[in-house]
Amino acid sequence: MSTRAPAVQARQLIKTYPGEVTALSGMDLTVEAGTVFGLLGPNGAGKSTTVKILTTLARPDSGTATVAGHDVLRHPDRVRRAIGVVAQKSGADPVATGRENLQLQGRLYGLKGAALRRRVDELLARFHLTDAAGRQVKGYSGGMQRRLDVALGLVHRPEVLFLDEPTTGLDPEARTAMWDEIARLAGDEGLTILLTTHYLEEADRLAGHIAIVDRGRVVVEGTPDALKGELRGDAVHVELRHPVGEAGRTLLTGALTALPGVYEALLDGRRISVRAEDGAAAVPALLAALERAGVAVSAATVARPSLDDVYLRYAGRRYGEAEAAAAVSAGGSDDLALTGGTR
Amino acid sequence: MSINALTQTWYMTQRQLTAVLRQPAYVVMMLIQPAIWLFLFGNLFKEVVELGGFGTTSYLDYLVPGIVVMSALSSNMWAGMGTLEEIERGTLNRFLTTPVGRGALMNANVVQQALTTAVQSLLIILLGKLGGADYPGGAAGLLVLVVAASLLGTVFGAFSNALGMLVRQRESIIGINTFLLLPLTFLSSAFMAPSQMPGWMRTIADYNPLNWAMVAGRSAMSDNPDWSVVLTRSGALLALAVTAVWLSIRTFRAYQRSV
């Protein structure tokens, strides 16, 4: 099974947008054929730019990439035939009907006649759009539009399917439905899916392999379980009543990591994240140490490590924090500005 | 390859034409506006033919080519808005990740605009006829007018598309269009015979592409066409259209670099 060549391979991709916005700063990526690969990171981390380069929309300043065995720079046409793209923004023609959108998309890949009609009917049925097939897309709900987008990406039975933030902007119900749909796609014979998301839960749930992206490069990758497993022990989160100043910070984390069974302590704002061999056993000692340091605690929780912890560990900041930073620095790059705007 | 490119162009043109037809408000506006111009200006300036130099005794005869060309300008100069919308909606990017040729995408714009302009022009000609206008040049004359108007539409449609892709702001398109529409129209022979214009205005009009289309159309539509005038003006329009389309294809590449 893994004897096939990688479906996607990117080496040292660098891309800077006008106005000095560095979108990619050395992106390396290998996606094995037939897998679901999740590119996880906050808005502005470089996920969309990576997808744009891999789908031949944008050109990197330097670096190389192949998709389905074809070089994206030298043979963009071959790449385009091999891929299906579901971009962040719908892209379906609002005044055309669902069926017309699918028919045109199929024709662009050379499908015609009965084969085209069959394929379109099949996709409409599969994505529960048969009843709405004759209606203009502008009347579709968000979930219906998104399903149509995925159907558009699949018309020509691509080898590699790119799903860029497939559930952003969907209500919880539509999101769950989309997750089920993607999970079913993953079962399709030989289809490779590259999925980008800024939802930790989504990556955890759908992807067999995850790469965490921060500031334009991959900071760590592996299976969700392996990534979580690498964080030995449990996570203990302590909420403080007041933020700790810069000076007290090093002192406090130093005191905490000195405790037996505590591997690591990270403090940001009013929140302390501790990794400990046995979370429950560490809590009394932690609280005592904090009390000695004169720091008031408002809550403490013990949890199995989550992807959020993985992110914190490798990107050096909390997920929400990175998202907020991205929202502030948004602008210049289309990528940043638009994702910032949809939040 | 070229057969394929033609088929693709046709698919994309079909899509655009369907979109135009499904916006009845747009189609109605495209017809009502010229009808209003014909009626208003036709009545307002009715008597000016008596000043002479119009080459006809009915002002409506003189006005129809002016309104046809003016409408070609005003309906095509907004093309960039559509392009901008397609960029914002992600439709353009969707097509760019399929094997469809870049030329087919651009040419579809041109073909759709030219066809729409031709239909609009024919309908204005028909309206004029209903209002009592006379076209002594016959079918050949009308054909020249329609082709000239479509070429002019292509010029401004392509410029507008280029503008939309470069500046990506509705406000800029609106600003430039409102700035251009009236001066371009009034610095031409749309409503007034050149011999009645101040000298400096006539000089400017000579360099105004709108005027080229009107002059070519009017000459071909007269009972005694001056074909050298028709050919030079149409040739200049064609050259300008080719340049504008070439330019818009260049900005298309610039757009892709900025994605």
Of A35-39, A110-114, A310-314, B13-17, give the lowest mean pLDDT range: A310-314
Q: In the block, which residue shows the tokens 């990017």?
A: B93
Q: In the block, which residue shows the tokens 């070229």?
A: B2
Sheet holding A192-197, edge to edge: A83-86, A160-164, A192-197, A36-40, A209-214, A217-222
Q: What type of residue sits at position B171?
A: E
Minimal C-alpha gap between B101 and chain A (Å): 9
Q: How far apart are the first and last CA of chain A?
A: 39
**What is the predicted pLDDT for the residue at A235?**
83
Q: What is the DSSP string of A253-309?
A: HHHHHTSTTEEEEEEETTEEEEEESSHHHHHHHHHHHHHHTT--EEEEEEE---HHH
Residues B23, A95: C-beta atoms closer than 8 Å: yes
Residues B22, A136: C-beta atoms closer than 8 Å: yes
Domain limits for position B148: 2-258
Of A64-78, A108-122, A187-201, A210-224, give the lowest mean pLDDT range: A187-201
Q: Which residues does chain B have within 8 Å of residue A152's beta carbon, measured at their own beta carbons?
A: 94
pLDDT > 90 in chain A, percent: 48
Q: In the block, which residue shows the tokens 């006005």?
A: B63
Please tell me the total count of domains within chain B: 1
**What is the predicted pLDDT for the residue at A329?**
55
Of A98-102, A310-314, B74-78, B215-219, give the lowest mean pLDDT range: A310-314
pLDDT in tens, B225-237: 999 999 999 999 9
Q: Which residue in chain B is spatially nearest to A86 when comparing CA positions?
A: B94
Q: Which residue in chain B is spatially nearest to A18 when comparing CA positions?
A: B258
Please name which of B59, B76, B38, B55 lies closest in space to residue B215, comparing C-alpha atoms.
B55
Q: Which residues does chain B have within 8 Å of residue A83's beta carbon, measured at their own beta carbons?
A: 97
Sheet holding A62-67, edge to edge: A21-31, A8-17, A62-67, A70-71
Among partner residues B11, B22, B93, which is closest to A108 by beta-carbon distance? Answer: B11
User: Are the C-beta atoms of residues B189 and B214 closer than 8 Å to each other?
Assistant: yes
Q: Which residues does chain A have within 8 Å of residue B100's beta carbon, measured at their own beta carbons?
A: 108
Q: What is the SS3 assignment for A17?
A: strand
Chain A touched by B179 (CB under 8 Å): no
Q: What ipTM was predicted for this assembly?
A: 0.86
pLDDT in tens, B75-101: 999 999 988 999 999 999 999 999 998
Q: What values do phi and psi take at A268, rounded to 5?
A: -140, 120
Confidence bin at A334 (pLDDT 50/70/90): very low
For A35, A39, B131, B243, the CA distances from A2, given in Å and listed in that order, are: 10, 20, 76, 53
Q: What share of chain B is helix, strand, coil (3-state, %, to 5)?
A: 85, 0, 15
**What is the predicted pLDDT for the residue at A3?**
56
**What is the predicted pLDDT for the residue at B101?**
85
Residues A90, B11: C-beta atoms closer than 8 Å: no
∠ CA(B259), CA(A165), CA(A320), 5° rounding? 100
Residues B259, A77: C-beta atoms closer than 8 Å: no
Q: For the purposes of burial, counting CB atoms within 10 Å of the CB of B52, is it exposed (0-12), middle (13-18) or buried (19 or more)?
A: exposed
Q: Which residues does chain B have within 8 Å of residue A164's beta carbon, measured at their own beta carbons?
A: none
**What is the predicted pLDDT for the residue at A43?**
80
User: Are the C-beta atoms of residues A28 and A10 closer than 8 Å to each other?
Assistant: yes
Q: What values do phi and psi take at B87, rounded to 5?
A: -70, -50
User: Are the C-beta atoms of residues B121 and B72 closer than 8 Å to each other?
Assistant: yes
User: What residue ranges define each of the domains in chain A, with the CATH number in brackets?
Assistant: 8-227 (3.40.50.300), 232-304 (3.30.70.100)
Chains A–B, number of C-beta pairs less than 8 Å apart: 72
